[in-house]
Chain A
Amino acid sequence: MFKYLKQLTSLVAMVAVLFTFTTETMAAKKSKTLKNTQKKGFVRCGVSQGLPGFSNADAAGNWTGIDVDVCRAVAAAVLGDANKVKFTPLSAKERFTALTSGEIDILSRNTTWTLSRDADIGLTFVGVNFYDGQGFMVRKSSGITSTSQFKNGISACTNIGTTTELNMRDFFNSKGISYEPVAFEKADEVVAAYDAGRCDTYTTDKSGLAAQRTKMSNPDDHIVLPETVSKEPLGPVVRQGDSVWEDIVRWSLNAMIEAEEYGITSANADSMKTSDNPAVKRLVGAEGELGAAFGLDNEWSLRIIKQVGNYGESYKRNIADTGILPDRGPNELWTKGGILYVPPAR
């Protein structure tokens, strides 16, 4: 009698466990962040305080940039309108706290993906939207054309709260050069101090150097040295613990890159519905049930492509045409000699 009772209890327990497990996954399907975003009617996106090409606001308060486009893509996928984004400008220091405390839902702010950031502080990096590397800018008149000409006692301006400070130390230590780091809180002050002659070199991500050079009193007086001293994969970040939201942001970015790969642009997206290629048809929502996996409809990626454009369009609009980095370098598709390679959307 007792034997049966024991078996019965374990059975009940198993059923109970199974039941809670299934309800758990059902609940997880409907992501809390997704639900909140749909209820609010806008995506809360953290961006920089002004970095041309990545996230920069014009005089009328319109944000543009490739980091901005990631948030717009998510808004297009989730809410159907790429303009339904609330941008919060954040300093390098504030950005992670703003994300973990729930003030924003996506951090798309030229943020380097590193192990400690991914593992330690409650964040998840969802992908890379720009492959960057740290470089150095010097005055042309100094005659320096390579970092190998740096000498002991060089002063380097940079800003705090970034991986730059760590890379700078690694670089100068490996070369055995003593240096004077002058670290500011904001990028504008770094530029002003370097421009005034306080420092011999200005170091940050190369894309940043290219963008900031345009702010100098005489941009042609400065050059960015050819050497790249670190790997800086920049990408959007979300809070840990909401895997559905994480997937939405990851695949919104991936969809933009894959759309470029298949030649789908904002102009031809609708006509691609009749394409012969099933991969193209899946991306424009004419085949398969891809959106259902994260609780969205089937045209989520079509809306991204139509409203924001593919990755190539976004790059051209924000970075190439503005003269920041006309050459795509590593940020070219893998099929064209770059390293942009995303898993297939299927």
Chain B
Amino acid sequence: MNLKLQKIVPQLITVLAVVLVFGFFSYNAQVNMENRGIDFGYGFLSQESSFDVQFSLIEYDGSHSYFRAYLVGLLNTILVSVIGIIIATILGIIVGVARLSPNYLINKFAAFYVEFFRNIPLLLQIFFWYFAALRALPLPQDADAMFGVFFLTIKGLYVPAFVWENFNVFFYSTVAAIIAIVVIRVHAKKVQETQGKQLPVLWISLGLILIFPLLSFLIGGVNLSFEIPKLKQLAVTSYRYEGGLNLPPELIALTLSLALYTATFIAECVRAGIQGVGKGQKEAAASIGLNPNQVLKLVVMPQALRIIIPPTTNQYLNLTKNSSLAAAIAYPDLVLVFAGTALMQTGKAIEIVSITMLTYLSLSISISILMNWYNKKIAIKEK
């Protein structure tokens, strides 16, 4: 009993202290805001925002609410984070493996890349890609078409847009193909476990994912055409492209700099992971007759991933948080749209900053949970 009390009392005091500190700060803020005639409340979220945003994934203009503006910013943050994470991961794995390459040139080139990009402050890299690279890009009227349909200009990358007919048929056929692949994989595993036979799962999968959508085109009435950007004159020397899809230079510069920067850290995680697998493991795998591909896939990678995943999770979190530097180059992310313009127009500093902090916290925690789940899945299962 006494021992139990000894354990509980310090914890209670800690909790009490935390509550008191938070209570003091919120009380203090409340009193000061009251003294200065500042209202506190989240009612502004439903008011009309009356400002426009350059780039949005959902339908939005100034007649929508502040909450909608918040969603626009949030989705833009998620967009740049997801694309950034995908590119950084692919690039990171390639560079990480390249650093272990016996080829001197590849090896040194990868090492140079890592040392160069991770030792320059990220904000500087963002400015470089935006301002230096931007100035080097041609004006819309001077741009040469790449493959006849892509136009990289100072106003962004214009790409053809897909124009679908009966898109839902195509969508369902793709879903059906994916389900079929999953079923075949499960079956193939069973066959291997019971009969020791290996089915060519990869080829079957590739075939399915091609044939199903193809059938939807041939008999499902699906049709796909492209809308190619066309040059339009705004004034004597001022042009832009119309039609198609425009990726603004802000998005490209931000994604590029985030991916190039974070990939260096991921490359180091990958290298550490692969080097962390004992040499004996590879030799043992080779001695039971696995080919080099199988050694990598079945023996080295599963063990390396255990080392790679936890630090890589940190890099994913960093990339997401670093995306808030977007405000410097006008990419309309959560910080620029919500903690910037919306904060200024409403003056609700405490409310908006608290929402923004909570949002980043939730984003980071979601990524953590996802990665922890994956980590647990690939961890050694001791029986």
A-to-B contact residues, CB < 8 Å: 92-93, 96-97, 100-101, 116-117, 120-122, 138-139, 141-144, 149-151, 153-155, 157, 160-162, 165-166, 168-170, 173, 179-186, 189, 192-193, 196-198, 200, 239-241
Is B236 in the interface zone, CB < 8 Å from A? yes
- Known interface pairs A160-B336, A185-B340; A169-B250 also in contact (CB < 8 Å): no
* Cα-based distance from A88 to B52 in the complex (angstroms): 30
Is B53 in the interface zone, CB < 8 Å from A? yes
Q: Can you name 10 extra interface pairs (CB under 8 A) apart from A93-B340, A170-B50, A183-B54?
A: A93-B343, A93-B344, A100-B36, A142-B234, A169-B51, A169-B52, A193-B134, A198-B134, A200-B234, A200-B235
**Set of chain B residues within 8 Å of A143, measured between Cβ atoms:** 235-237
**Set of chain B residues within 8 Å of A193, measured between Cβ atoms:** 131, 134, 330
22 of the cross-chain contacts (CB-CB < 8 Å) are A96-B349, A100-B38, A121-B38, A122-B37, A141-B236, A142-B238, A149-B235, A151-B234, A153-B240, A160-B327, A160-B344, A161-B344, A169-B62, A173-B62, A181-B52, A181-B53, A182-B250, A183-B332, A183-B340, A185-B327, A196-B131, A196-B135
**Interchain CB contact under 8 A, B330 and A184:** yes
**Interchain CB contact under 8 A, A166 and B328:** no
Is B118 in the interface zone, CB < 8 Å from A? no
**Set of chain B residues within 8 Å of A179, measured between Cβ atoms:** 52
Query: Can you list, as one digit per residue, whether each of B31-43 has a CB less than 8 Å from chain A (1) or not (0)?
Result: 0110111110000
B-to-A contact residues, CB < 8 Å: 32-33, 35-39, 50-54, 62, 131, 134-135, 139, 154-155, 232, 234-238, 240, 242, 248-250, 327-330, 332, 336, 340-341, 343-347, 349
* Cα-based distance from A181 to B235 in the complex (angstroms): 18
**Interchain CB contact under 8 A, B232 and A153:** yes
Contact among A117, A160, A170 for B341, CB-based, below 8 A: A160
* Cα-based distance from A173 to B63 in the complex (angstroms): 11
**Set of chain B residues within 8 Å of A160, measured between Cβ atoms:** 327, 336, 340-341, 344
Nearest B residue to A96, CB-CB: B347
- Known interface pairs A96-B347, A161-B341; A184-B329 also in contact (CB < 8 Å): yes
Shortest Cβ gap from A301 to chain B (Å):
29
**Interchain CB contact under 8 A, A120 and B336:** no
* Cα-based distance from A154 to B327 in the complex (angstroms): 22
- Known interface pairs A160-B336, A183-B332, A239-B36; A139-B237 also in contact (CB < 8 Å): yes
Nearest B residue to A145, CB-CB: B235
- Known interface pairs A181-B52, A185-B340, A189-B329; A142-B36 also in contact (CB < 8 Å): no
Shortest Cβ gap from A189 to chain B (Å):
7
Closest 7 CB pairs of A and B: A121-B347, A143-B236, A161-B344, A122-B36, A142-B235, A122-B38, A165-B51
**Set of chain A residues within 8 Å of B33, measured between Cβ atoms:** 122
* Cα-based distance from A240 to B131 in the complex (angstroms): 42
* Cα-based distance from A1 to B139 in the complex (angstroms): 96
* Cα-based distance from A166 to B38 in the complex (angstroms): 22
Contact among B39, B341, B347 for A183, CB-based, below 8 A: B341
Shortest Cβ gap from B311 to chain A (Å):
32
**Set of chain A residues within 8 Å of B62, measured between Cβ atoms:** 166, 169, 173
**Set of chain B residues within 8 Å of A153, measured between Cβ atoms:** 232, 234, 240, 242
**Interchain CB contact under 8 A, B51 and A189:** no
Contact among B51, B131, B235 for A192, CB-based, below 8 A: B131
**Interchain CB contact under 8 A, A120 and B345:** no
**Set of chain A residues within 8 Å of B238, measured between Cβ atoms:** 139, 142, 144, 154, 200
**Set of chain A residues within 8 Å of B330, measured between Cβ atoms:** 157, 182-185, 189, 193
* Cα-based distance from A92 to B33 in the complex (angstroms): 21
Nearest A residue to B44, CB-CB: A120
**Set of chain A residues within 8 Å of B154, measured between Cβ atoms:** 196-198
Nearest A residue to B140, CB-CB: A197
* Cα-based distance from A309 to B306 in the complex (angstroms): 73
**Set of chain A residues within 8 Å of B349, measured between Cβ atoms:** 96-97
* Cα-based distance from A198 to B249 in the complex (angstroms): 9
